[in-house]
Chain A
Amino acid sequence: MIKLDEIDKTILNTIQLDFPLVTKPYEALGKQIGISEDDVISRIKRLHRDGAIRRIAPIINTAKAGGTSTLVAMQVPTERVDEVVKIINAYTEVSHNYLRTAKYNIWFTASAPSVEYLDNMLAEIERKTGCPLINLPTKNLFKIGVKFDIK
């Protein structure tokens, strides 16, 4: 686990939701926090290198961007996990993939241009791996808003 000082925490808590959409965003952040643009950039570079920041980017809503997405749960024998994960992760459409403790142990999300495209892809994954899966597309969205309160 990496060490964060108070300024790092302020930066992280601020830029999750309020990254300034201006031509010089790091300068704007610096003014807001009370440090220089250089200091903001070097801290963000360090936080990125240490894994605290994965990326600064637009978070795309696939449904509105003309696509569709789903969550898939798969039953994979323990000894085949690494091999099956390799097959799944080879698809660029797969965005998240986790091992979880349950009967269905592999959980991944995927986004694609259409439902038909996704269905074909999942059928292909099932065929290639020989592992049963259940497709769990969203029926109702009550909340989506990952903002970590970094203490």
Chain B
Amino acid sequence: MDEIDTKILKLTQDGIPFAPEPFNKIAEQLGITPQEVLAKFKEMQAKGIIRRFGASIGHRAIGITSNAMCTWNVPDERVEEVGAIMAGFPEVSHCYERPRYPDWPYNLFTMVHAYSHEECEKVAARIARATGIVEYSLLFSEREFKKTGARL
């Protein structure tokens, strides 16, 4: 990542304008052409510096009001296999392994988004059946205090 990449990300991470040529102003500020800005984005995408370029959805506003963090206690030797199965569920948007603590036994985390709590619970039950992991807990989000993208 070079200095221009960092500047481009800082200028666009909170969103591009909803105007016919949204990259013009950024290009002007950086002293390069809009085509160069776009080429930089494509390059950063190819390198994996940006995961995608697109819209972040306010899922609550459109009725996808239920969001459950499902946490699973998976035997360490099964983590790779079970993680792959969980990731295969379309309802699962994120799937991570994280450390355990003495009072926190769950090591696999999946985020499930759905139109209702009931639907989230059904998805979790299907995951449990598919993986044989029965020790799990669903943490529904009750309030959202902050949501921005990961920032530079």
Binding site for B on A (CB under 8 A): 1-2, 4, 12, 15-19, 21-27, 37, 41, 44-45, 48, 50-62, 64-67, 69, 71, 73, 85, 88-89, 92-104, 107-109, 111, 134-150
A147 to B95, CA, bound (A): 14
Binding site for A on B (CB under 8 A): 1, 9, 12-16, 18-24, 34-35, 38, 41-42, 44, 47-65, 69, 79-80, 83-84, 86-87, 90, 92-99, 101, 103-104, 109, 113, 137, 139-152
| A92: min CB distance to chain B, Å | 7
Query: In the complex, are the beta carbons of B18 and A73 less than 8 A apart?
Result: no
A135 to B98, CA, bound (A): 9
Given contacts A15-B54, A19-B54, A58-B9, whether A150 and B62 have CB atoms under 8 Å apart is: yes
| A14: min CB distance to chain B, Å | 9
Kindly list chain A residues whose C-beta atoms are within 8 Å of the C-beta of B151: 60, 92-93, 95, 111
List 29 A–B pairs whose Cβ atoms lie within 8 Å, in order of A's numbering. Answer: A18-B54, A23-B24, A23-B34, A26-B18, A53-B56, A55-B15, A55-B55, A56-B55, A57-B13, A57-B15, A57-B53, A61-B48, A71-B109, A95-B150, A98-B143, A101-B142, A102-B139, A104-B104, A107-B69, A136-B99, A137-B98, A139-B96, A139-B98, A140-B97, A142-B83, A142-B86, A144-B95, A146-B113, A148-B62
Query: In the complex, are the beta carbons of B13 and A58 less than 8 A apart?
Result: yes
Which of chain A's residues has its CB closest to B64's CB? Answer: A148
Query: In the complex, are the beta carbons of A142 and B97 less than 8 A apart?
Result: yes
Query: In the complex, are the beta carbons of A52 and B58 less than 8 A apart?
Result: yes
Which of chain A's residues has its CB closest to B142's CB? Answer: A99
Kindly list chain B residues whose C-beta atoms are within 8 Å of the C-beta of A144: 51, 93-95
A21 to B36, CA, bound (A): 11
Which of chain B's residues has its CB closest to A22's CB? Answer: B38
List of 3 A-B pairs having minimum Cβ-Cβ separation, nearest first? A55-B15, A51-B61, A140-B97
Kindly list chain A residues whose C-beta atoms are within 8 Å of the C-beta of B84: 142
| B88: min CB distance to chain A, Å | 8
